[in-house]
Amino acid sequence: FESRVERYGSTVVRINVPPGPFMARDPRVVAVLDAKSFPVLFDVDKVEKKNLFTGTYMPSTSLTGGFRVCSYLDPSEPTHAKVKQLLFSLLASRKDAFIPAFRSHFSSLLATVESQLVLGGKANFNTLNDATSFEFIGDAYFGVLPSASDLGTTGPAKAAKWLIFQLHPLVTLGLPMILEEPLLHTVHLPPILVSGDYKVLYKYFNAAATKALDTAEGLGLKRDEACHNLLFATVFNSYGGLKVLLPGILARIAGAGEKFHQKLVAEIRAAVADAGGKVTVEALEKMELTKSAVWEALRLDPPVKFQYGRAKADMNIESHDAVFAVKKGEMLFGYQPCATRDPRVFSPTAREFVGDRFVGEEGRKLLQYVYWSNGRETESPSVDNKQCPGKNLVVLVGRLLVVELFLRYDT
């Protein structure tokens, strides 16, 4: 994307994006690649969001019980508001569970890291995080450990397999091109190959999410449609996000250096001490540097890098330097890291991790250019937009990881 910007001297360009014609009817998009043009993708008055969560193709609904789940619905569709309200209700009903569940599961993860370091000299955080995040989400959302169900310890593997079947047109597994192109990027993988795994996942959600499904019926949703939506939101959106988010935060903060770690240690331990030794929401709110560090990680490494929208009418899109005419029906595409590393907004340090970037009044003004949640960080998700319903929870979980690390370690 950056080479195209350089070639054309423009941050709004026409390009083709993968996958090819056997999966995507039309690969042509108008790419918006700066902080000023990118937010058009959030404006549901200007762009339609129907069936384009993954872009120019849509995975088979056989992968989601025959239903178009919330991520593929436009806010104008009645089911969108019902499902998103269900997700808001679920998060609100479990708000007191998130901090203790996270601390319990990730304290155990770090203890495992330490024991593996002692025994073998190394530990793989990502592998441990996959298993721990899946357990944490099941515990926090529903109060039922996946490992205590028929899933046992197979949940993360079944979830990863199901995710691949939806995202394979866009991913690379590092195989030789002569294998990857025909296997992953030419035709859709048959949903039947993952149906058994999906049924086991569905069985867990159908049993664990009883209260949420009761709520869904009160909102006018059928129980099975609600369950498929909960599965998708939990596994694809939440679990898929944490697989990327938490290792990314760890890597960015590790690379920020010991002096930055010392500042985090001082802030975190003082706030927890003031709260009587407990990690509370009030204590977390006092940790301005910790929150800034998480926002900075989300700015540089958004868990979902692509956003799409189809123009509802002829319109003009403004970049920093020009105005571009777009016709009704054209697909708009945003590669988020280009927009959130825009040097016109974030100065010469736009590509660098600056942990205190969002501290103070001037720093907080920059939050309007943090877009990871499919909306501005200064805005809130609602049933009328496509912003992530778990926006505030994601930032909370990121902060909790940093807190857990620096209550435990000095660097």
User: What's the confidence (pLDDT) of residue 323?
Assistant: 97
Range of the domain at 392: 1-408
Whether 91 and 390 have beta carbons less than 8 Å apart is answered as yes
Rounded-to-integer distance, Cα 65 and Cα 2, Å: 39
Q: How many CA atoms does the CB half-sphere of 353 hold within 13 Å?
A: 19
- Phi/psi class of residue 19: alpha, beta or left (left: φ > 0; alpha: ψ in -120 to 50)? beta
Distance, C-alpha 393 to centroid of its chain: 11
User: What's the confidence (pLDDT) of residue 173?
Assistant: 85
**E strand intervals along 17-103:** 28-32, 47-48
Q: What are phi and psi of 325, to 5 degrees?
A: -90, 130
Query: How many structural domains comprise the chain?
Result: 1
- Give the residue among 76, 3, 11 at the shortest CA–CA distance from 45: 76
- Sorted by sequence, the CB contacts under 8 Å of residue 121 that are 6+ apart come out as none
Distance, C-alpha 202 to centroid of its chain: 21
Q: Which pair of structure tokens corresponds to residue 144?
A: 């039922």
- Give the residue among 147, 165, 107, 186 at the shortest CA–CA distance from 401: 107
User: What's the confidence (pLDDT) of residue 21?
Assistant: 82
The residue type at 244: V
User: What's the confidence (pLDDT) of residue 283?
Assistant: 98
User: What's the confidence (pLDDT) of residue 20?
Assistant: 83
Strand-pair partners of 324: 317
- Give the number of other Cβ atoms within 10 Å of residue 14's Cβ: 15
- Sorted by sequence, the CB contacts under 8 Å of residue 98 that are 6+ apart come out as 140, 393, 396, 397, 400
Which alpha helices (H) appear in 168-220, and where do they start and end? Answer: 177-184, 195-208, 210-218
**Residue ranges for the chain with pLDDT beneath 50:** none
Strands 47-48 and 306-311: antiparallel
| 192-246 per-position pLDDT tens digit | 999 999 999 999 999 999 999 999 999 999 999 999 999 999 999 999 999 999 9
Q: What is the CATH number of the domain that holds 37?
A: 1.10.630.10
